Amino acid sequence: MTGEMSALQLVLTGDPALYAVVRLSLLVSLSAVLCAALIGIPLGALLALTRFPGREGVIVVLNALMGLPPVVAGLAIYLLLSRSGPLGTLGLLFTPGAMVIAQTLLVTPIIAALTRQTVEDLWLEYRDELAALGVGPLGRVATLVWDARFSLVTVLLAGFGRAAAEVGAIIVVGGNIEGFTRTMTTAIALETSKGDLPLAIGLGLVLIAIVVVINALAWGARRAGERYVG
């Protein structure tokens, strides 16, 4: 991407650097949402259905972690993956893999906390029926998650929104390396620091457009699913 061109020109001319950046942004954020969903949905559902001492405290902390500052998450993963850190030998720092890990850390609390709320609301509705049918704990988790699946699409979108929008975590663990770990948000930060504000704003609009398209696709999938299942 060169500063001599406007963002619109980059899109219209199919600038390969721009498409590489968009591709990496989506790859990293979607992978992070997938990882976070695999951890967060079962965790949130379990928390909704189990009762143990200190449970309320866990819920408060989980809800608070939805506001985890990205730069803090980035720093934590940085120290973990640094060559001087405990996982340094993996050589993951300044790679897309490190960015996925950092965003997973950011998104997991959001998915877990919102899943907990959604599943708990459903449970209050169905607990008597499930108890009457004699469904075990794991069966309850599976049943309620399945029942909440359409609401969980919105939960995943909330997580994706967080991942796609943040710059603090991935710039620390990814390093904003051209052609390797540069994403939409880190490119916007870079163009701002180069004083090319029109290009930065243009890239911002491209990012917003992409996020809108993804939300529209998810919404369409949800509607189609609802109609199909009934």
What is the binding site for other proteins (CB under 8 A)?
Answer: 3, 26-28, 30-31, 33-35, 82-85, 88-89, 91-97, 100, 149, 175-178, 180, 190, 192-197, 221, 224-225
- Determine contact, residues 88/82, Cβ cutoff 8 Å: yes
CB 150 within 8 A of CB 225: yes
Closer Cβ to other proteins, 63 or 149, answer by number: 149
Residue 89 or 132: the one with the smaller Cβ distance to other proteins is 89
> Please, what is the minimum distance in Å from the beta carbon of residue 59 to other proteins?
27
- Tell me which amino acid residue 176 is: N
Q: What is the smallest separation between the CB atom of 8 and other proteins, expressed in angstroms?
A: 17
- By beta-carbon proximity to other proteins, the closer residue of 103 and 122 is 103
- Minimum Å gap between C-beta 16 and other proteins is 15
Structure tokens at 166: 């943040």
List, in sequence order, the alpha helices (H) in the chain.
Answer: 7-12, 16-49, 55-65, 70-81, 96-133, 137-147, 149-165, 168-174, 184-193, 197-229
Q: What is the DSSP letter of 90?
A: G
The amino acid present at 69, given as its one-letter code, is: P
CB of 125 to other proteins, least distance (A): 22
DSSP code per residue over 32-50 = HHHHHHHHHHHHHHHHHH-
Q: Is the CB of residue 80 less than 8 Å from the CB of residue 86? A: yes
Q: Which helix or strand (DSSP H or E) is residue 79 part of?
A: helix 70-81
State the nearest-atom distance from the C-beta of 6 to other proteins, in Å: 12
